Structure 1
Amino acid sequence: MKTPHRIIGIMVALCLFACDKKETLPTIKITNTLNLDRQFETVELSTTSLNLENLNNFGIKDSASDTMLTSQLVDTDGDSVMDVLLFQPDIKANSQSIFQLVKLQEDTTSNEKICYSRFVPERTDDYAWENNKVAFRTYGPNAQYRFENGLKQGTLSSGIDAWLKRVEYSIIDPWYKKYTEKTGSYHKDSGEGLDNFHVGTSRGVGGIAYKKDSTYYISKNFISYKTLTNGPIRTSFILDYGTWEADGTLIKESKTINLDYGNNLSKFEITIDGVDTISAGLTLHENDGVVTSKENETWLNYWQPHDGSELGTAIVASKTYYTGSETYETEAKDLSNAFAHLKVVDGKSIYYAGFTWKKSDQFKNQAAWEQYLSAFATKLDNPLKIEIIK
């Protein structure tokens, strides 16, 4: 007969065993089917795919090297619960790697502003975004109001401006600080780069238009914004353009824009009602550059001389959306653009737009840049295969 003390001892031992037993967390297997090494591609793991209630204080570990990777947690619906985990694995050509979801003792999320965006009320109402490679901005309702009423600092444009940075750290706040404190100008290069890219009413780097018959129609400035996330892997935000008219056709438009670490191209996810096609454009500036694309490839590039250097601006899409391209030239100021034509599928169209500046030393020449674009398009149509092993 077991004594009460022995029974209690067994119960305590079982309790300690149960309490010490760690919860089994999912393993993630990622396969690269291409004959290309894969870097700077962001993997998204959601609470739904992982069958977890939240991802607060979770991280990701490379099983082969037993090292923690840089990751970013995102609260997609604003309820203070992290429901998406982002990370960027390095996967060699034709290979696969294993990663382990890890529960951390405390929040180790990086606060470094690498992929960063914000609304800029101190410069009328720009919205600016950047990563370690490139920076952009576009324009809000106050800038439109000021333009339409003949006030200073007015801008009427839904085009996308390129800020030609040549450093990997964040420049948005320092450059605007120069502007507000009158200590310098971001239109002059003091070693970090500068804004000498003219947008006007052009499409800049990836602004959209709708072609009806032989005419391109464009929206005015964004009317509202929402910042979704900033961090070491991604900045993401939404710009709403409301409803605008193209010769009697009413178009409702909003943009969700992501810019990920290590990428020269922002992702534009356009939610649109009223049309089944759109066109994303690249300004031709003085028409002194060359528009290039390749048959059976889904990218468009404009390579141009630019203020003593060279500049490449580009649009890339997957085969799901890309239908072709067109060079549109006119005598009207700022309206000459190279356009990538895109399908709207289930109310959305997705493309990537961005640039490289030769002075940044990121790409040696036009050929190297176009090789990047070609590989980028190939990867879009052949995404990494992600298997969650529970």
Structure 2
Amino acid sequence: MKSSKSIFFIASILLLQACAQKKEEKIILIKNSLNIERTFETVTLTKDFLNITDLTIIGIRDLKTNELQITQTVDINNDGIADELLFQPKIQASSEKEYVIIQVLEEQQPKTTTYCYSRFVPERTDDYAWENNKVAFRVFGPTAQKMAEDSIKGGTLSSGVDAWLKKVEYPIINKWYKENDKNVGSYHIDHGEGLDNFHVGISRGVGGIAVKKDSVYYYSKNFTKWRTITTGPIRTSFYLEYESWDAGGNQIKECKFISLDYGSNLSKFETAIEGTQSISVGLTLHEKDGEITENTNNAWVSYWQPHKESTLGTAIIAPEKYFLSLEKYDSPAVDESNAYAHLKVIDNAVIYYAGFGWKESSQFTTKQEWEGYLNDFSEKLKNPLSVSLK
């Protein structure tokens, strides 16, 4: 009898401990209100939301499958303390899913690759380049500007956004720059991974901004300061700053945070700007032989064009509250023809997304597929995933 009582007592203690442990678990409930599957959308969790002091020891487990999710911590203000925890859930259409927050050791986290990568590139003058598993981009710095102004070969004077057309999932930035060091111009040739054959010049490229006054568009020069914020399996983000510039008598102050998430063809631009009530975000029209499509209901403009021996779609999408109108600006001047999305500045800030899809990457083979992607992206912006703690 004593033995039975002892066993019952121990079992009761263990049961109470298990119940207490279960009670303390933090369960994240994610709801998808759209009738489409949601993938490659990043959920951002903060210490305040989770009521946790250290995000670096946290893991996220699928409550149904027990699968540990790939996560990434981000130190926004560069103080050595993680401010955000990122992960990308997969939620079926019109459904919800639960994840549990657990404590894990670093070696227990899933093995990952830094698909989302960015860096300053001093060896190629002073580019800043970024990429994920789908697309790559670059912008140009002050040394390239000075070289152009001094008529030195290799300089670039442009605040437009350059597109690097990659067709492989793995990172290519470091490899292409290294090969270009050995053989200048190497990345202008497709060696099986893609190439840089997208001309920017003084155009807006894929998402560069302008300020329109009367009928004239004004641009900044190259970026002057930069700071990498994060790289990892889910997101890369960085900060760019520009010297004040004149827009028809208005002094414009501009800086921006740019981020690119795993699985997305569109970079997110969060621009802080003073001196104007609106900006114009552009897509270069190159030889003007493509087709501009606009969807005012979904706040996007797209340019589907023949590109060398292939085709290319570029686009700008904005959250509805920023969107004003669209315009095709056709100029006889070289590189000044752009398709513009005019966006409203709210509290000295604008948010928009810009990017591309290249046929050779086998992601989008037709204009209809590309525009379908843009419509889905817009719907997801309007109807974000609902994230709550149970």
Please confirm whether the aligned pair reaches a TM-score higher than 0.5, indicating the same fold.
yes
1:303 aligned onto 2:291: no
The match for 2:74 is 74
1:246-285 pair list within 5 angstroms: 246-285=247-286
Asked if structure 2 preserves the Cα contact closer than 8 Å seen for 1:236 and 1:259, the reply is yes
1:92-241 pair list within 5 angstroms: 92-106=92-106, 108=109, 112-182=113-183, 185-241=186-242
**Within 2, Cα distance between the matches of 1:183 and 1:331?**
32
The match for 1:34 is 34
Q: CA RMSD in A?
A: 2.0
1:385 aligned onto 2:386: yes
Q: Runs of 4 or more off by more than 4 Å in structure 1? A: 20-23
TM superposition shift of 1:297: 2.2
TM superposition shift of 1:320: 1.2
1:319 counterpart letter in structure 2? E
Indicate the SS of the match to 1:375. Answer: helix
1:351 counterpart letter in structure 2? Y
**Within 2, Cα distance between the matches of 1:43 and 1:76?**
16
Asked if structure 2 preserves the Cα contact closer than 8 Å seen for 1:160 and 1:203, the reply is yes
**Within 1, Cα distance between the matches of 2:168 and 2:25?**
39
**Within 2, Cα distance between the matches of 1:192 and 1:48?**
42
1:82 counterpart letter in structure 2? A
**Within 2, Cα distance between the matches of 1:344 and 1:54?**
36
Asked if structure 2 preserves the Cα contact closer than 8 Å seen for 1:241 and 1:254, the reply is yes
| Shift in alpha-carbon separation, 1:21–1:310, aligned structure 2, 3 A | closer
**Within 2, Cα distance between the matches of 1:295 and 1:21?**
51
1:370 counterpart letter in structure 2? E
Aligned length: 376
TM superposition shift of 1:246: 0.5
1:163 counterpart letter in structure 2? W
| Shift in alpha-carbon separation, 1:309–1:150, aligned structure 2, 3 A | same
Indicate the SS of the match to 1:114. Answer: coil
The match for 2:339 is 338
**Within 2, Cα distance between the matches of 1:162 and 1:86?**
26
The match for 1:10 is none
Indicate the SS of the match to 2:374. Answer: helix
| Shift in alpha-carbon separation, 1:216–1:345, aligned structure 2, 3 A | same
1:209-236: CA deviation from partner (whole Å, max 9, x where unpaired): 0111111110000001000000000000
The match for 1:352 is 353
Asked if structure 1 preserves the Cα contact closer than 8 Å seen for 2:301 and 2:315, the reply is yes
| Shift in alpha-carbon separation, 1:161–1:383, aligned structure 2, 3 A | same
TM superposition shift of 1:317: 1.0
**Within 1, Cα distance between the matches of 2:64 and 2:327?**
47
TM superposition shift of 1:93: 1.2
TM superposition shift of 1:56: 1.4
TM superposition shift of 1:149: 1.1
Q: Percent identity?
A: 55
- Give the TM-score normalised by the residue count of structure 2: 0.93
- Give the TM-score normalised by the residue count of structure 1: 0.93
Indicate the SS of the match to 1:144. Answer: helix
Asked if structure 2 preserves the Cα contact closer than 8 Å seen for 1:32 and 1:385, the reply is yes
1:307-326 pair list within 5 angstroms: 307-326=308-327
1:334-376: CA deviation from partner (whole Å, max 9, x where unpaired): 0000001111111110010000110110012110000000110
**Within 2, Cα distance between the matches of 1:220 and 1:183?**
25
Give 5+ residue unaligned stretches, structure 2: 1-12
Indicate the SS of the match to 1:268. Answer: strand
TM superposition shift of 1:242: 2.7
The match for 2:45 is 45
Greater displacement, 117-126 / 62-71: 62-71
1:264-313: CA deviation from partner (whole Å, max 9, x where unpaired): 00000001111111111000001010100124221100000011110000
TM superposition shift of 1:110: 5.1
Indicate the SS of the match to 2:295. Answer: coil
| Shift in alpha-carbon separation, 1:98–1:22, aligned structure 2, 3 A | closer
Asked if structure 1 preserves the Cα contact closer than 8 Å seen for 2:70 and 2:112, the reply is no
**Within 1, Cα distance between the matches of 2:102 and 2:173?**
34
**Within 1, Cα distance between the matches of 2:184 and 2:124?**
15
| Shift in alpha-carbon separation, 1:84–1:295, aligned structure 2, 3 A | closer
**Within 2, Cα distance between the matches of 1:109 and 1:234?**
16
Indicate the SS of the match to 2:360. Answer: helix
The match for 1:62 is 62
